[in-house]
């Protein structure tokens, strides 16, 4: 489209706004370019400031190194130090250390590397000839800086400094060494006045981290490249960190004069804030410019609106008023003479036109008033079906007759209009769907006398049709309903019934018309019942309820009856409508369902639900105390497993019959599940009556029970709980009785036990322990202690057993035998086992990092082997990822696991041995293991329990047992570890008997990881 056409189609405001746009855009571009230049200048200033901070850090570190250098140089020139040969360090060194808080030790070293003087005295000689900084000081004859190392005097990570000490001839006599711990150096870095979020690292000549801020001991000594981007030195680099924030990085060397092995300072400063500030300033200026442009546009728009657009709107409104036949009204006179002249001419023209239209409108209004008073719609039609005049909502649906009516109605109307005469009357019905609702219409066509036109009247008869359908539907429901219906007068005389009434009662309609509803009375309700019914009908006009009536044949039936009253115009009862349903069969089904829900189907005794209802009703009343006896059949599971559930069910039925014979002494006898029964009896504070009842129960069960060809003798364990001492709710009572019942089983079965506060306290302690155990896992309160295992021949540490301890915040250190059984029962042992394994791996890794070798034993619970959620098969992969071997781990198992080994357990044990793990049988000799199990499980070690070791010095029998176990193990190719060795005599006897390894307080107590590592360093392995 040509540009001229486009512009000519634009409105006045559009042309005006385009002109403003062409004026403002160049200015906006110029300002935006200037803002970008200012932003770049701000960023350059921020980068320069960051570089100054980095150089300041370098200067500070150079100062510290130079101070250390000056200190050592000054000391090396002192006569008493230059002449020092051997013995106690000169006192001047101690004074120098006091003046330098960052120096942990100062010593003098012979050229051979032997430390001849150290402020930190120790019994062990130290040799540093292998240290690079020492050799550098000797070879260069000047001050030298070390690298990251574990200092042999302070046993910490340090960087050492050295300067040679010359004799009078200029020959190096010795070397003066200062030890600077890295954590103190890191503390010095932390005190620097740096912006928040800054990071500083110092690295040695081998690029290892020797100090950092913020401090992180985990990465101290690691390669700087693992934690710092690779960048060129003496140049700023802006990079994104792992969090997506931009930072400025510098790598600057420490150029100390005449110093070897210089260090490197790595500085990282937050740069995101500088960028944000620069962007913010640019945004503020840009917003101010946009606001100025907006103010200019608003001022221009206001002037355009007032001078041109507002007068044009007034003219448009005047034309609109005239088109609706309304007088012209100007809301405001224009301030321009041209618009005022147009307004005057328009007012004159409008006045003439309105006067003519008013006369015509008066006559038309008379006809419209007549048509509007009628509810119908009207159409005036010619013979061709053209609409000449219309009135009413329906007539205004569309412009054409064919659009108003359905096609078949339209065709019939056209046909009737085509033969229009004085007798051309017709009436039609049709339906339409409007807004998802169906409407029915009636139309009547009547000719206009002596005129070729007709009047068509349309009426909506939807409501009338609905009323007709409702009447027909009501009659249909009344006659075909499955519910009986009766219509009576206000006094109960029957006026009509439906077929369902006859089907239910047996009375024909003709037999009850004119009679009262009392014809159905069954005699099951007293007069008061009917009196209350009629009183409610008189007051509320309705009644609903369950009633028993009698059929014509005399049979009783239960019905659900609803009666509603119909009132006349005076508000008096006119009719009563009764609807009823025969619920006899439903009542019987409900009773059956209720019994099935509250009574045991096998024994017909009350079940747990009914027991709780019974207890709740008696406990709520509180008038009478009661006691419950919960009995559990002894060894019932064996009968089910050996003979099958048929015999088990028959046995339970016989037990129920015998217990039922005690019902005179009980308020309820129930079976609450499996082989558990509960007897409820009144309690008057005398336990002797309860003992008597319990003994009767046991004696009642004592006689032999015959089922088919089988005979049984059954006994039970009974737990007794009383109100209110043992519980005031059904749950508390049942729980107390259950605990007492288990106490009876522990006492030997076929007996009874009363619930006591000790049992409650034990249960509460168990719950508290379980709660604390879950918290301990979440808060990592567990730790591992390690007890060394010594090779008896060499008395050197060869192994160690990992022993878990629970560091409770209130109770202190808790031994495993106090919480492991509960952890196994609640399946928490799996997470604990994973913790033990992970901690043991960490210890192994630290041992190997120190150049030692040690085999660790960890205890594995039988639950870990038998559970579906076993993680043992992943242990070898975890070791591989840490560079460890499965041969470094000994898995200790118990004899119980071997005796009850399932196929799944055997498979997992075989998998562990195949992967290279060693197996040790713990507490050997305390269970029932056999030699066959030892071979089957492919065990590597057996551990003689402490109970056998304790008495070997005094008892020949204990010594003989130990010797026999050692000989047997060696014959099977197994090695032996003796536990609990506490004296030299025990050690000597076991060594003489051929025992391989020993473990006990004689060698060492269980200790934390750090103590174990220290012990390995001092004693060797």
Q: List pLDDT tens digits, range 194-220.
A: 777 788 888 877 788 888 878 887 788
Which tokens hold the place of 917? 């793990």
For residue 49, give every residue at least 6 positions away whose Cβ sits within 8 Å of its Cβ, in sequence order, or none: none
Q: What is the pLDDT of residue 258?
A: 47
Average the pLDDT over each of 340-349, 800-809, 825-834 and give the range with the smallest value.
340-349
Cα torsion 925, 928, 934, 940: sign: negative
Residues, the chain, total?
1021
Distance CA(517)–CA(502), nearest Å, equals 13
Which tokens hold the place of 1003? 């060698």
Mean pLDDT of 257-268: 68
Mean pLDDT of 282-299: 78
Distance CA(335)–CA(311), nearest Å, equals 9
Distance CA(276)–CA(1001), nearest Å, equals 65
Q: List pLDDT tens digits, range 650-664.
A: 999 999 999 999 888
Radius of gyration of the CA atoms of the chain, in A: 53
Confidence grade of residue 970 (pLDDT, cut at 50, 70, 90): very high
CA 387-390-393 angle, 5° bins: 125
Average the pLDDT over each of 230-239, 267-276, 984-993 and give the range with the smallest value.
267-276
Distance CA(993)–CA(543), nearest Å, equals 99
Select from 1019, 962, 975, 996 the least CA-distant residue to 792.
996
Select from 152, 151, 226 the least CA-distant residue to 185.
151
**H/E/C letters for each residue in 221-287?**
CCEHHHCCCCCCCCCCEEEECCCCCEEEEEEEECCCCCCECCCEEEEEEECHHHHHHHHHHHHHHHH
Q: Are strands 237-240 and 246-253 parallel, antiparallel or unpaired?
A: antiparallel
Confidence grade of residue 487 (pLDDT, cut at 50, 70, 90): very high
Distance CA(4)–CA(848), nearest Å, equals 89
- Strands (DSSP E) contained in 792-888 are 796-808, 812-814, 855-859
Q: List pLDDT tens digits, range 431-485.
A: 888 778 888 888 888 888 777 888 888 888 888 878 777 777 777 777 778 888 9
Whether the pLDDT of residue 7 is over 60: the answer is no
For residue 317, give every residue at least 6 positions away whose Cβ sits within 8 Å of its Cβ, in sequence order, or none: 331
Whether the pLDDT of residue 901 is over 70: the answer is no
Place of tokens 């924030």: 245
Distance CA(726)–CA(501), nearest Å, equals 59
- The separation between the first and the last C-alpha atoms of the chain, rounded to the nearest angstrom, is 97
Q: Give the C-alpha distances (Å, rounded to integers) separating 99 from 119, 178, 405, 575, 690.
A: 14, 13, 113, 116, 86
Q: List pLDDT tens digits, range 550-591.
A: 999 999 999 999 999 999 888 899 899 999 998 888 888 888
Distance CA(84)–CA(82), nearest Å, equals 6
Give yes or no for a contact between 678 and 733, defined as CB atoms under 8 angstroms apart.
no
Average the pLDDT over each of 282-286, 553-557, 864-868 and give the range with the smallest value.
282-286
Cα torsion 863, 865, 868, 874: sign: positive
Confidence grade of residue 762 (pLDDT, cut at 50, 70, 90): confident
Q: Give the C-alpha distances (Å, rounded to integers) separating 480 from 11, 419, 562, 581, 916.
A: 74, 50, 18, 14, 84
Which tokens hold the place of 517? 């509803």
331 vs 299, higher pLDDT: 299
SS3 call for 610? helix
SS3 call for 497? strand
Whether the pLDDT of residue 320 is over 90: the answer is no
Confidence grade of residue 622 (pLDDT, cut at 50, 70, 90): low
Of the chain, the percentage scoring pLDDT greater than 90 comes to 27
Highest mean pLDDT among 59-63, 66-70, 486-490, 582-586: 486-490
Q: What DSSP designation does 405 have?
A: S
Select from 186, 132, 122 the least CA-distant residue to 155.
122
Q: Are strands 115-118 and 199-203 parallel, antiparallel or unpaired?
A: unpaired
- Strands (DSSP E) contained in 516-611 are 542-550, 556-567, 573-582
Q: What is the mean pLDDT of the chain?
A: 83
Whether the pLDDT of residue 3 is over 50: the answer is no
Place of tokens 């992180």: 216
Give yes or no for a contact between 62 and 264, defined as CB atoms under 8 angstroms apart.
no
For residue 54, give every residue at least 6 positions away whose Cβ sits within 8 Å of its Cβ, in sequence order, or none: 250, 252, 265, 267, 269
Domains in the chain (CATH in brackets) are: 47-270 (3.30.450.20), 298-370 (no CATH), 374-466 (3.30.450.20), 481-574 (3.30.450.20), 599-755 (3.30.70.270), 781-1019 (3.20.20.450)
Mean pLDDT of 82-94: 83
Confidence grade of residue 261 (pLDDT, cut at 50, 70, 90): low
Give yes or no for a contact between 975 and 776, defined as CB atoms under 8 angstroms apart.
no
Q: List pLDDT tens digits, range 399-409.
A: 787 777 888 88
Mean pLDDT of 166-177: 88
Distance CA(256)–CA(161), nearest Å, equals 13
Distance CA(27)–CA(100), nearest Å, equals 65
Q: Are strands 157-166 and 144-145 parallel, antiparallel or unpaired?
A: antiparallel
Q: Give the C-alpha distances (Å, rounded to integers) separating 733 from 133, 477, 611.
A: 79, 57, 11
Select from 936, 980, 942, 932 the least CA-distant residue to 958.
980
Q: At what angle do helices 730-746 and 757-779 cross, to 10 degrees?
A: 100
313 vs 907, higher pLDDT: 907
Confidence grade of residue 328 (pLDDT, cut at 50, 70, 90): low
**Which residues does residue 682 pair with via DSSP β-bridges, in sequence order?**
626
Place of tokens 């439906």: 498
Distance CA(752)–CA(740), nearest Å, equals 8
Helix (H) or strand (E) holding 991: helix 984-992
Give yes or no for a contact between 532 and 519, defined as CB atoms under 8 angstroms apart.
no
Helix (H) or strand (E) holding 975: strand 975-979
Helix, strand, coil fractions of the chain, as percent rounded to 5 = 50, 25, 30
Q: Give the C-alpha distances (Å, rounded to integers) separating 990 from 788, 795, 874, 951, 1002.
A: 17, 13, 37, 12, 13
Whether the pLDDT of residue 16 is over 80: the answer is no
Distance CA(559)–CA(520), nearest Å, equals 11
Q: Give the C-alpha distances (Å, rounded to integers) separating 751 from 717, 720, 804, 898.
A: 5, 11, 40, 33
Give yes or no for a contact between 1012 and 800, defined as CB atoms under 8 angstroms apart.
yes
SS3 call for 512? helix
Confidence grade of residue 782 (pLDDT, cut at 50, 70, 90): very high
Whether the pLDDT of residue 930 is over 70: the answer is no
Mean pLDDT of 588-607: 87
């Amino acid at each position: 489209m040509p540009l001229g056409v486009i512009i000519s189609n634009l409105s006045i405001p559009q042309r005006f706004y385009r002109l403003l746009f062409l004026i403002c855009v160049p200015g906006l571009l110029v300002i935006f370019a200037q803002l970008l230049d200012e932003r770049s200048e701000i960023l350059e200033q921020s980068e320069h400031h960051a570089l100054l901070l980095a150089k300041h850090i370098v200067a500070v570190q150079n100062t510290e190194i130079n101070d250390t250098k000056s200190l050592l140089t000054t000391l090396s020139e002192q006569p008493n130090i230059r002449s020092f040969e051997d013995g106690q360090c000169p006192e001047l060194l101690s004074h120098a250390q006091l003046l330098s808080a960052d120096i942990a030790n100062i010593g003098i070293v012979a050229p051979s590397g032997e430390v001849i003087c150290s402020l930190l005295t120790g019994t062990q000689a130290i040799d540093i000839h292998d240290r690079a900084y020492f050799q550098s000081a000797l070879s260069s004859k000047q001050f030298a800086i070390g690298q990251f190392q574990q200092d042999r005097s302070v046993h910490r990570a340090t960087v050492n400094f050295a300067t040679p000490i010359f004799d009078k001839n200029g020959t190096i006599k010795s070397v003066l060494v200062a030890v600077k711990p890295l954590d103190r150096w890191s503390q010095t870095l932390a005190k620097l006045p740096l912006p928040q979020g800054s990071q500083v690292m110092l690295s040695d000549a081998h690029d290892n981290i020797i100090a950092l801020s913020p401090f992180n001991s985990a990465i101290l000594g690691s390669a700087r490249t693992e934690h710092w981007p690779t960048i060129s030195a003496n140049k700023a680099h802006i990079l994104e960190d792992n969090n997506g924030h931009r930072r400025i990085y510098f790598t600057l060397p420490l150029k100390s004069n005449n110093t070897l092995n210089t260090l490197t300072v790595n500085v990282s400063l937050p740069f995101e804030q500088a960028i944000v500030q620069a962007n913010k300033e640019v945004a503020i200026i840009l917003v101010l410019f946009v606001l100025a442009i907006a103010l200019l546009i608003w001022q221009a728009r206001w002037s355009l609106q007032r001078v041109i657009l507002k007068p044009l709107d007034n003219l448009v409104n005047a034309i609109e008023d005239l088109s609706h036949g309304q007088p012209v009204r100007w809301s405001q006179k224009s301030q321009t003479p041209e618009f005022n002249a147009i307004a005057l001419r328009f007012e004159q023209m409008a006045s003439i036109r309105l006067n003519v239209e008013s006369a015509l409108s008066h006559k038309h209004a008379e006809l419209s008033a007549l048509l509007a008073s009628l509810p119908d719609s009207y159409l005036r039609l010619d013979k061709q079906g053209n609409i000449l005049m219309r009135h009413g909502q329906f007539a205004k649906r569309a412009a054409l007759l064919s659009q108003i009516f359905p096609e078949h109605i339209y065709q019939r109307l056209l046909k009737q209009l085509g033969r229009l005469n004085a007798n051309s009357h017709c009436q039609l019905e049709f339906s339409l769907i409007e807004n998802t609702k169906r409407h029915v219409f009636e139309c009547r066509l009547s000719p206009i006398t002596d005129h070729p036109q007709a009047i068509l009247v349309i009426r909506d008869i939807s409501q009338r049709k609905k009323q007709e359908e409702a009447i027909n539907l009501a009659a249909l429901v009344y006659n075909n309903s499955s519910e009986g219906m009766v219509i009576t007068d206000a006094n109960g005389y029957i006026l009509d019934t439906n077929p369902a009434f006859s089907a239910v009662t047996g009375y024909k309609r003709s037999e009850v018309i004119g009679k009262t509803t009392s014809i159905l009375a069954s005699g099951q309700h007293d007069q008061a019942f009917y009196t209350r019914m009629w009183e409610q009908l008189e007051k509320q006009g309705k009644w609903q309820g369950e009633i028993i009536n009698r059929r014509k044949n005399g049979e009783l039936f239960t019905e659900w009856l609803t009666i509603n009253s119909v009132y006349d115009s005076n508000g008096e009862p006119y009719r009563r409508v009764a609807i009823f349903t025969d619920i006899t069969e439903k009542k019987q089904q409900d009773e059956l369902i209720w019994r099935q829900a509250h009574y045991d189907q096998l024994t017909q005794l009350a079940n747990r639900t009914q027991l709780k209802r019974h207890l709740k009703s008696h406990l709520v009343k509180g008038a009478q105390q009661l006691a419950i006896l919960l009995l559990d059949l002894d060894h019932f599971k064996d009968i089910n497993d050996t003979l099958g559930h048929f015999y088990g069910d028959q046995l339970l039925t016989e037990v129920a019959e015998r217990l039922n014979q005690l019902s005179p002494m009980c308020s309820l006898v129930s079976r609450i599940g499996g082989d558990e029964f509960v007897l409820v009896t009144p309690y008057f504070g005398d336990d002797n009556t309860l003992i008597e009842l319990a003994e009767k129960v046991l004696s009642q069960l004592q006689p032999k029970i015959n089922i088919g060809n089988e005979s049984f003798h059954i006994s039970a364990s009974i737990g007794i709980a009383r109100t209110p001492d043992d519980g005031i709710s059904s749950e508390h009572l049942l729980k107390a009785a259950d605990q007492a019942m288990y106490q009876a089983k522990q006492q030997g079965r076929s007996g009874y036990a009363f619930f006591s506060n000790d049992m409650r306290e034990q249960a509460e302690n168990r719950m508290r322990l379980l709660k604390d155990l879950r918290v301990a896992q979440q808060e990592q309160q567990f730790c591992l202690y390690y007890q060394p295992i010594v090779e008896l021949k060499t008395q050197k540490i060869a192994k160690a057993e990992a022993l878990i301890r629970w560091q409770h915040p209130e109770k202190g250190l808790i031994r495993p035998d106090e919480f492991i059984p509960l952890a196994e029962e609640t399946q928490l042992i799996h997470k604990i086992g994973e913790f033990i394994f992970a901690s043991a791996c960490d210890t192994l890794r630290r041992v190997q990092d120190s150049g030692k070798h040690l085999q660790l034993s960890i205890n594995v619970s039988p639950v870990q082997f038998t559970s579906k959620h076993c993680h043992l098969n992943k242990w070898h992969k975890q070791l591989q990822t840490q560079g460890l071997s499965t041969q470094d781990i000994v898995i200790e198992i118990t004899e119980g696991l071997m005796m009850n080994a399932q196929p799944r357990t055997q498979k997992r044990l075989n998998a562990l041995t195949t992967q290279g793990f060693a197996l040790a049988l713990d507490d050997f000799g305390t269970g029932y293991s056999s030699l066959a199990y030892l071979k089957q499980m492919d065990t590597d070690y057996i551990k003689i329990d402490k109970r056998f070791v304790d008495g070997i010095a005094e008892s020949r029998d204990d010594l003989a047992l130990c010797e026999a176990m050692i000989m047997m193990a060696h014959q099977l190719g197994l090695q032996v570890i003796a536990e609990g060795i506490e004296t030299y005599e025990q050690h000597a006897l076991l060594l003489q008997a051929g025992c391989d390894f020993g473990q006990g307080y004689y060698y060492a107590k269980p200790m934390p990881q750090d103590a174990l590592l220290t012990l390995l360093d001092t004693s060797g392995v």
